[in-house]
Structure 1
Amino acid sequence: MSRTTARAWAQICKLSLATAFVFSAMPVQAQDVLITPELPFLEFDTGSEFVFIERNQDPEARIPDFFSQTSRQCPPFCVQPMSAGEGVETVGELEVLAFLEEHVAKGTGVLIDARLREWYDRGTIPGAMSLSFTTFENPDSNPFLVPVLQLLGGEQANGAWTFDDPLELTMFCNGPWCGQSHRAIENLLSVGYPPEKIRYYRGGMQGWLSVGLTVVTPAGS
């Protein structure tokens, strides 16, 4: 699959792939809470609107109650390992921002929200697309997975997958206690997706919210 086809698919499905990604010289309003000393905020063009990614400037802001809970029943809410698989890089917030700039903005990568769609609709990371972990379940018998893998750069012959030039992926879900993105990555690896092309944002929405980064509600939600 060509990069052009991948970008067209993303735009048609309104998957928020950025078409441009720039740093602004100065923020719209004076900011005291920066992302890093060198990076006050990021601004990128989704193709239909400009979106800021910045930290919440309210010094009294708190993480939402749902993400402050410490003792969810396990299973299913079990603490996840730091690694999602051999060769898969585990990343944090700054690496996710760099991924948006280096890959999502250029159409060479996809930031995947692996949660169920209902969670994505409540709020997600700017630039992320919804591709639930259920899409990747039972890869040997799941007919819905075939077009997805093709659009990510895979080719199938005689029941086997090859990935000569796949898209770069970063996958996340709700946090260190959420196994959805971990499961999706395991299934991708099982069909031969190159681990060096996958990144695991273990902190997920809990980590993103805990440092006050921008969350968006998808259009139409």
Structure 2
Amino acid sequence: MKYTFLFLATLTLPAMALDVQITPDIESVKVMHNAKEVVIQRHQDPNNTINPEFAKTSRACPPFCIKPMIFAPGIESIAELEMLDYLKKVSDGDNSILVIDSRTPDWVIKGSIPGAVSIPWDVLSGAKSSPPIVKKLLEELLGVKISEQGKDFEAAKTLVLFCNGPWCDQSASNIRALLKLDYPPEKLKWYRGGMQAWESFGLTTVTDIPMPWLGF
């Protein structure tokens, strides 16, 4: 008796290119978030519209006033591609960078940028702030060495801060507080567009942002 054996080959088909890329050369960016890999890409539905949370155009000023492009001398303002580059560096193991969502938790849980951590403005400089909390933030999260001689920023992290957008004062409040604490301006980067710009490009968001300050 003769037997005929059929072998089925598993074909590996090339991945389909995304219709909506980040740039002509970048389809997506993989970052680590809460110890798992998250792929940041743009929403693929061409009819997708911006999150309604960021659709308002006319919030009262003050307090929701348009911020300048250059916040303070020495502080670099960045956009989406630079933010993605910082996120990738962090995911690749660069511990000298920290991406900070400066908003209060009620905003953060609605969606934030993968790879960011939460340090709300009111914890650093507002009603929830206190000298012991600020000291812990500086030493345990930001890499500042504090002694009787003062603050040593030699190993301090480069901080990339954002909030809701150019009309939002939460990241601005964190930056002002850090400058008052003598944080080097060249180690502060400001994503001025914030979540409004991020959402307007349909970029990936997450809701499980680490909040290390809760233990302070």
Q: Distance in 2 between matches of 1:66 and 1:113?
A: 16
Runs of 4+ residues over 6 Å off in structure 1 = none
C-alpha contact (below 8 Å) 2:104/2:120 kept by paired residues: yes
C-alpha contact (below 8 Å) 1:53/1:213 kept by paired residues: yes
Cα displacement string for residues 98-134 of structure 1 (whole angstroms, at most 9, x for unaligned residues): 0012245322211100000111111100001011011
Question: Which one has a bigger Cα radius of gyration?
Answer: 2
Matches within 5 A, 1:53-132: 53-106=40-93, 107-132=95-120
Q: Distance in 2 between matches of 1:216 and 1:160?
A: 38
2:205 aligns with 215
Cα displacement string for residues 176-196 of structure 1 (whole angstroms, at most 9, x for unaligned residues): 000110110111011111111
Cα displacement string for residues 31-56 of structure 1 (whole angstroms, at most 9, x for unaligned residues): 10000011000113336322110000
Segments of 5+ residues of structure 1 without an aligned counterpart are 1-25
SS in 1 for 2:109: helix
Distance 1:135 1:89, change over 3 A: same
2:131 aligns with 142
C-alpha contact (below 8 Å) 1:27/1:41 kept by paired residues: no
1:190 aligns with 180
SS in 2 for 1:143: helix
Matches within 5 A, 1:132-171: 132-137=120-125, 142-151=131-140, 152-158=142-148, 160-171=150-161
Q: Distance in 2 between matches of 1:80 and 1:169?
A: 19
Amino acid corresponding to residue 54 of structure 2 in structure 1: F
C-alpha contact (below 8 Å) 2:32/2:114 kept by paired residues: no
Matches within 5 A, 1:3-42: 30-42=17-29
SS in 2 for 1:97: helix
RMSD: 2.4
Shift of 1:213: 0.6
Distance 1:41 1:146, change over 3 A: same
Distance 1:113 1:47, change over 3 A: closer
Shift of 1:29: 5.1
Distance 1:112 1:219, change over 3 A: closer
Shift of 1:216: 0.9
Q: Distance in 2 between matches of 1:37 and 1:62?
A: 22
TM-score, normalised with respect to structure 2: 0.83
SS in 2 for 1:90: strand
Between the two proteins, the alignment pairs up a number of residues equal to: 195
Q: Distance in 1 between matches of 2:117 and 2:76?
A: 20
Q: Distance in 2 between matches of 1:96 and 1:141?
A: 30
Distance 1:174 1:47, change over 3 A: closer
SS in 2 for 1:81: coil
Distance 1:61 1:114, change over 3 A: same
Amino acid corresponding to residue 136 of structure 2 in structure 1: P
TM-score, normalised with respect to structure 1: 0.81
SS in 2 for 1:80: coil
Shift of 1:135: 2.0
Shift of 1:157: 2.8
